[in-house]
Amino acid sequence: MVRGSQDPSSGRCLIVGNYCHDVLIKDDVVIAESLGGAASFISSVLDGFSVSSIYVSKVGPDFGYCMNHRPIVSSSSSQTTLFHAHFSSEIKHQDRVLKRVTACDPIYPSDLPDSEFEFGLAVGVGGEILPETLGRMVEICKTVFVDIQALIRVFDPIDGTVGLVELKKTGFFHLLPRIGFLKASSEEAPYVDIMEATKWCCVVVTNGKEGCTVYRKDRKLQIAPFPTTQVDPTGAGDSFLGGLVAGLVHGLSVPEAALLGNLFGSLTVGQIGLSKFDSWQLQRVKDEILRRRLQSFGCQEKQAEDPNIMKTADLEMFHTALSAAKSVPAYSLQECKRDLPNSPRAKCSEQQRYLVHSVCEEPLKSVENKQ
């Protein structure tokens, strides 16, 4: 296999998780094909904030996209991880049914750089992260963020339908005390003992239109959402995690960073496939983050680990400012004309293909990623 040429010494963050091919199917008709995988959505956010990162992702020789962060090309016998997301227009408010069609090789500890990082993100979607790989991550990263889906997903051996198992029944549970942040959706949270997990790490549970909740030890803080209309839920939880990490890298408190995560989750569900963010919109957000950092310079409460110490009024002001930034006209997605992801004629500059209108015309049900 061939590793992408990246200098590990230049990365502040290590992101581990495979890129994927995503196919959206509505009423048995393919309506969109796109680059997928948590790492791809996270990179859209972190790159927008100029967060220096190293990505360790595996794909097969059939991979149909050119990336800023090049993946590892696995053996010729291993295809790129492929997911089919099925929607139905006949059943209102129906969530998508996600199926893994093919799975690329797992990521091994030996695939990780022999370097140290400030932050590490374990964001597998197709079972590619092994317990020993996560164990290596906690050794080389000061703070590790884990999307729980990377640990508790299981796949039907017949049709690949995605299911969940309790964290305690996996080979990852013993690593929980060494994890800094654990992110779960409201659907995934019942498979984790939240109260037990908060003894060792900060737990963030996303809940779609209700925003998210930050748990730390025996306390919790509700973080407000940003209203939006759902078009495609794919990748929203990944964008949330990207926003959370970007906020912490840029000096925000945990509640402020979670609020930033909510913003990017809401922006992602308004698009089909891989999210794109308007440059003016991003600049408005970055300007607001810088303004808050300057205002809070030297303030002790901004340095506290307890997320509940943040003043509610202060967080509400930040929410108002981010809402104003979001009101900037978003990136106008245009239809792309390209061949299927596995076609040798696929154009590297195009990240997705849209065949018809949006996947879901219903109001937002969840901005959480279930990919």
Type and span of the H or E element at 320: helix 312-326
List, in sequence order, every beta strand (DSSP E) within 139-291: 141-147, 153-155, 162-164, 181-185, 202-206, 212-216, 219-223
- The label of the residue with tokens 């849209």 reads 354
Segments making up each domain of the chain, as ranges: 10-297+304-330
d(CA 331, CA 230): 16
**What's the distance, CA 117 to chain centroid?**
19
pLDDT at residue 6 in the model:
42
Higher-pLDDT residue of 16, 325: 16
- The label of the residue with tokens 């069609």 reads 101
pLDDT at residue 329 in the model:
56
| DSSP classification of residue 104 | P
SS3 state at 155 = strand
67 C-beta neighbours (distance < 10 Å), count: 18
pLDDT at 1 over 50: no
Let me know how long the chain is: 371
Report pTM. Answer: 0.83
Which residues are the active-site residues? 238
- Per-residue pLDDT tens digits for 31-75: 888 899 999 999 999 999 999 999 999 999 999 898 889 999 987
Q: Residue 58, by phi and psi: left (phi above 0), alpha (psi -120 to 50) or beta?
A: beta
- Per-residue pLDDT tens digits for 145-191: 999 999 999 999 999 999 999 999 999 999 999 999 999 999 999 99
| DSSP classification of residue 175 | G
Under 8 Å between Cβ of 362 and 230: yes
Under 8 Å between Cβ of 94 and 87: yes
**What's the distance, CA 347 to chain centroid?**
25
Mean pLDDT of 220-246: 88
For domain 10-297+304-330, give the fold: UDP-N-acetylmuramoyl-L-alanine:D-glutamate ligase (3.40.1190)
User: Which amino acid, residue 369?
Assistant: N
**Burial of residue 362 (number of CB atoms within 10 Å: 0-12, 13-18, 19+):** middle
Give the residue from 149, 169, 266 showing the smallest Cα distance to 211. Answer: 266
Side-chain-side CA neighbours of residue 132 (13 Å): 6
| DSSP classification of residue 68 | S
pLDDT at residue 76 in the model:
81
- Per-residue pLDDT tens digits for 246-296: 999 999 999 999 999 999 998 887 777 677 888 888 899 999 998 888 876
Q: Which two tokens stand for residue 333?
A: 């997605």
Q: What values do phi and psi take at 261, rounded to 5?
A: -60, -45
pLDDT at residue 82 in the model:
96
Mean pLDDT of 74-81: 88
